[in-house]
Structure 1
């Protein structure tokens, strides 16, 4: 079936037979080593369903690294700036983790499935964890191929899950895990998501993937459930003010970071630069990067801050019309950093610039020098087209662009 798509060097996920059958476009998204649907029918309709009904989102390519053994809690606590020792079995922590210089290696979800078992869901992390496991009785392994992940997201997601399982899910708290059965397959259900909506992530064996998909689609018919591709998912996470490695910061670890068009404009960041300082617990006596982060705070804090940017889309259209160009408004999340200036001086860059259909504006994540990052600050984004660079007005606004409804 992959040969029919005209792609080489990629493999299908456990859900590929179902996702390929549902796609009505030729738009696919490479997520090495996998390939997943980018647009099933229309990304606008898929995003609208995510905001008003429910969608199934393919997330199987996420890297999943398991650490297990008697010293697994010690390794997790050594890596994370959060206190992993207080994490309960069946609980999920979101956290960044850093190198010794206090720069983020990655960020992601940490699932605790047992007293001696954690699974980190982020970019590839196997090398980094092994580098930090010295002297510990622990095993580190990439288990990504053994698990398929579907996210069901949207205000009707709970109803769909209840219909598919015949169980009440209203009591499952955010970032908690519970086992169930869907379509005859054993499933780990977590109250999580990457869209800002109420939602769940469903972990299943490759053998159970298609039966689970079928059961969910059947259960979700009356609730408007439909598949959503990567295009709509990416826009949704920007509207929710959520960052990703490789697009919004460069990973500082040894494992490969997903490429961007121009990585020279992006830099490694501390958690405090990316609004993640609340996940750093200086009461912990030790964790990787602790001293560097303490030094950063003692020196006055992060030199830059991530903020929301509302960009003047009308001015951008006017520039295009003046030059007789085809008018476009970053319908896709722009993956190349754009310089940001204030009073003629470079003060940072913008990432993940896109048109947000739900919020009705051109938005992006600004990485701005702290003195210029205050709410309401007037800045300019440098935008290049047809060999010309123009300044487009932008204003610092609150994140997220759209309030989260997932908790």
Structure 2
């Protein structure tokens, strides 16, 4: 029977909600893919500090997850995405993107190969109609399994120690690989992946084991600075890592109302992902043409003078010619500098005489500042510990 009072709780609660709501001292909630998710639990600075100096838990349940399985699963994904899904080993993970026929970005995400004929695609936006249309003619089944999985990110330099203390032997687990472990009468999959650019893991289980998993990790992490973090701290960490987000750093093609807002993988600095030799994939011909003539836009990392976050700032060349926009920015507590990600005209991708027009709120009035900006390599923060196998022991 339909719940006639559903309007009172318009957002779904994740399997971890009893724990995240109890810890959310600020009651700072925001919607993510139809779920209520925490923005900041109690102290943003301390949450970010834990990502870089201890260990953190982040509720990943709202992230969209699709199961793609069948004898043609690899062939279907090769037609859909720009990377070669057939070359991804079982137990492996890779980052990928997919486009429309015109080569414009639809979304990015991570692809997990769970078995020879079964994959999981995780992403920001919902794409089931697109995926089903793209699967026409392939022997493949595509299922939205978002609600069937409880997912948790365990990130930070002590994350491996926490997992060891919880009884999981992850010493041989390499970056972008996953392994399965027994847990509480069920199973737990641990992948060495994450969105912080640091040592970290993502944990995948069934909703009925969500609370036992949370409690097991918090008990094991009590001596190692483990704390839950919200999306605001994660956003600072992902900016330091130079990672992009659909809907913030680029507008997904199906959402674009203005033709000049469409972007391709080449224009977003993602050309290195494209496997040109694997055969036809959606958008390949358009991307080949763009590669030949050169992209109109580029995506760059910036360091900006001053200590005011430059999010949304317009970029100028020589203080007068508009050449781009900053899509994400923050004052980096780790690097002690103002950093940003930006879309710029391709001819300005190497920088030189760039200025950011920043409006800073000063006691109810905005102060306009023109601050010098310098193009720098991404990632801004790239610690060796995220690649070490086995991870360092404290």
Partner of 1:207: 208
Equivalent of 1:380 in 355, 360, 378: 355
* Structure 1 residue 7 displacement after superposition: 7.6
Partner of 1:225: 226
CA distance in 1, matches of 2:27, 2:8: 11
Q: Which residues in structure 2 correspond to 1:344-383 (within 5 Å)?
A: 344-374=320-350, 377-383=352-358
Alignment partner of 1:135 is 2:100: no
* Structure 1 residue 267 displacement after superposition: 2.2
Aligned length: 374
* Structure 1 residue 127 displacement after superposition: 1.6
* Structure 1 residue 378 displacement after superposition: 2.8
Equivalent of 2:371 in 385, 388, 392: 392
Whether the aligned pair in 2 keeps the contact of 1:249 and 1:266 (CA below 8 Å) is no
**SS of residue matched to 2:289:** helix
CA distance in 2, matches of 1:184, 1:40: 31
Partner of 1:146: 148
Whether the aligned pair in 2 keeps the contact of 1:65 and 1:124 (CA below 8 Å) is no
Whether the aligned pair in 2 keeps the contact of 1:380 and 1:391 (CA below 8 Å) is yes
Equivalent of 1:303 in 290, 296, 301: 296
What is the TM-score normalised by the length of structure 2?
Answer: 0.90
Partner of 2:244: 243
* Structure 1 residue 56 displacement after superposition: 0.7
What is the TM-score normalised by the length of structure 1?
Answer: 0.87
Partner of 2:391: none
Deviations 1:335-389 (A, max 9, x none): xx432110211111111122211111222101111221215x2311223464775
Whether the aligned pair in 2 keeps the contact of 1:39 and 1:229 (CA below 8 Å) is yes
Q: 1:41 to 1:250 in 2, by over 3 A?
A: same
Q: 1:202 to 1:366 in 2, by over 3 A?
A: same
Partner of 1:168: 169
Q: Which residues in structure 2 correspond to 1:314-353 (within 5 Å)?
A: 329-330=308-309, 334=311, 337-343=312-318, 344-353=320-329
* Structure 1 residue 193 displacement after superposition: 0.3
After TM superposition, the structure 1 stretch with the greater mean CA deviation from structure 2, 177-186 or 92-101, is: 177-186
Whether the aligned pair in 1 keeps the contact of 2:33 and 2:64 (CA below 8 Å) is no
Could you say what the CA RMSD is over the residues aligned between the two structures, in angstroms?
A: 2.1
After TM superposition, the structure 1 stretch with the greater mean CA deviation from structure 2, 387-396 or 348-357, is: 387-396
* Structure 1 residue 88 displacement after superposition: 1.5
* Structure 1 residue 16 displacement after superposition: 0.3
CA distance in 1, matches of 2:184, 2:281: 42
CA distance in 2, matches of 1:239, 1:404: 11
CA distance in 1, matches of 2:260, 2:17: 34
